[in-house]
Amino acid sequence: MKVYDVVIVGGGPAGLSAALYAGRATLSTLLIEKEQVGGQIIMTSRIENYPGCVEEESGATLIDRMKKQAANFGVETISDEITEVDFSREIKVLKGQNETYRAKAIIIASGATSKRLGCEGEEMFIGRGVSYCATCDASFFRGLDVFVVGGGDTAVEEALFLTKFARKVTIIHRRDQLRAAKSIQEKARKNPKISFIWNSAIESLSGDGILEKVVIKNLKTGEKTEYVASPEDMTFGVFIFVGYEPNADLFKNELDLDKGYIKTDELMQTSVDGVYAAGDVRVKSLRQVVTAVADGAVSAVQAEKYINSLE
């Protein structure tokens, strides 16, 4: 059975960047993606904060160019879901639903998924009013109202960031007090643009193509409140920060994890020689396309060095 130099698990920006660098280094490279190549960024209708994107750029167009670049350097891409791994030997083994794959080095770029609320209309309006990343999408809601769902550090910090763009920011929380650090709470309470809706959750989101209405339910009284975008605004934003789910459960018996994320050093090296992690799946402070592609490049360069050391 064929032994690849590098097998990359995950086809988002980190995985595609790793594939490009590995392929360009003339390593036999296989990229495995269980769903659609591109990851979460594929849902983004416009990108403004990736260097060089000075014209209209969407997640789909950026990923399309990344895929073509990788293919030009001989990267093989297949669709399969890895169900079992064995990193105990020099040749690593990944068992998929369709086939079993072997490689000298592995790069895990399986990403992390923003937790969903599960309310009606949520999936329909992702990228059309619903967002899970203020850094990515705040500027699209300049001068508009936005709602932030969540009560932890991330939710409140992102709410504060959104005040730089939005006309008004309303934090919706299921409890009657925030879980964020006291210092962050204090900043939010002092910000005149921020208000709070307590003991409440979003029940539904709706609109004609873009988000136009949200229904908020008080979890204690059952009372429902509707917010409808004005004809002038046409839309508003709902930013959801209720946590992330790293896609790393498959590796928990093979690698060291921290709160579900894969631990690496600055060279993307995991706790097992020859196994690297890149992008949102690893422990890191900023999860953006620009940091994901950097991780992918570093991991591929280090994988090449590791492979050369075996010879």
Q: What is the CATH number of the domain that holds 212?
A: 3.50.50.60
Q: Which of 5, 119, 133, 280 is catalytic?
A: 133
Q: Say yes or no: 234 and 248 in one domain.
A: no
Q: Say yes or no: 78 and 131 in one domain.
A: no
For residues 149-177, average pLDDT: 94
For residues 293-304, average pLDDT: 98
pLDDT at 43: 64
Full residue range of the structural domain in which residue 47 is found: 3-114+244-310
Q: How far is CA 155 from CA 53, 73, 135, 160, 172, in A?
A: 27, 41, 12, 9, 10
pLDDT at 45: 64
Q: Say yes or no: 170 and 72 in one domain.
A: no
Q: How far apart are CA 293 and CA 96, in angstroms?
A: 25
pLDDT at 93: 98
As given in the structure block, the two tokens for residue 32 are: 């495995």
Q: Say yes or no: 228 and 254 in one domain.
A: no
Q: Say yes or no: 128 and 234 in one domain.
A: yes
pLDDT at 243: 85
% of the chain exceeding 70 in pLDDT: 98
Q: Say yes or no: 229 and 268 in one domain.
A: no
**Under 8 Å between Cβ of 147 and 172:** yes
Q: How far is CA 195 from CA 170, 218, 238, 309, in A?
A: 5, 16, 14, 58
Domain boundary among 240, 256, 283: 240
What's the domain count of the chain? 2
**What does the pLDDT look like over 4-27, one tens digit per residue?**
999 999 999 999 999 999 999 999
**Under 8 Å between Cβ of 105 and 115:** no
Q: What is the bridge-based pairing of β-strands 213-218 and 200-206?
A: antiparallel
With cut-offs at 50, 70 and 90, classify the pLDDT of residue 49.
confident
Q: Which of 5, 80, 136, 295 is catalytic?
A: 136
Give the DSSP letter of residue 193. Answer: T
**What does the pLDDT look like over 95-154, one tens digit per residue?**
999 999 999 999 999 998 889 999 999 999 999 999 998 888 999 999 999 999 999 988
Q: Which of 5, 80, 137, 280 is catalytic?
A: 137
Q: Say yes or no: 170 and 258 in one domain.
A: no
Domain boundary among 183, 205, 240: 240
User: Does 137 participate in catalysis according to the annotation?
Assistant: yes
Q: Say yes or no: 250 and 234 in one domain.
A: no
Q: How far apart are CA 239 and CA 114, in angstroms?
A: 11
**Under 8 Å between Cβ of 228 and 248:** no
Q: Say yes or no: 62 and 91 in one domain.
A: yes
pLDDT at 38: 83
Q: How far apart are CA 237 and CA 245, in angstroms?
A: 23
For residues 262-291, average pLDDT: 95
Q: Say yes or no: 208 and 275 in one domain.
A: no
Q: Say yes or no: 22 and 99 in one domain.
A: yes
- Poorest-pLDDT segment among 52-61, 82-91, 124-133, 195-204: 52-61
Domain boundary among 240, 268, 293: 240
**What does the pLDDT look like over 213-238, one tens digit per residue?**
999 999 999 999 999 999 999 999 99
% of the chain exceeding 90 in pLDDT: 81
Q: Say yes or no: 13 and 99 in one domain.
A: yes
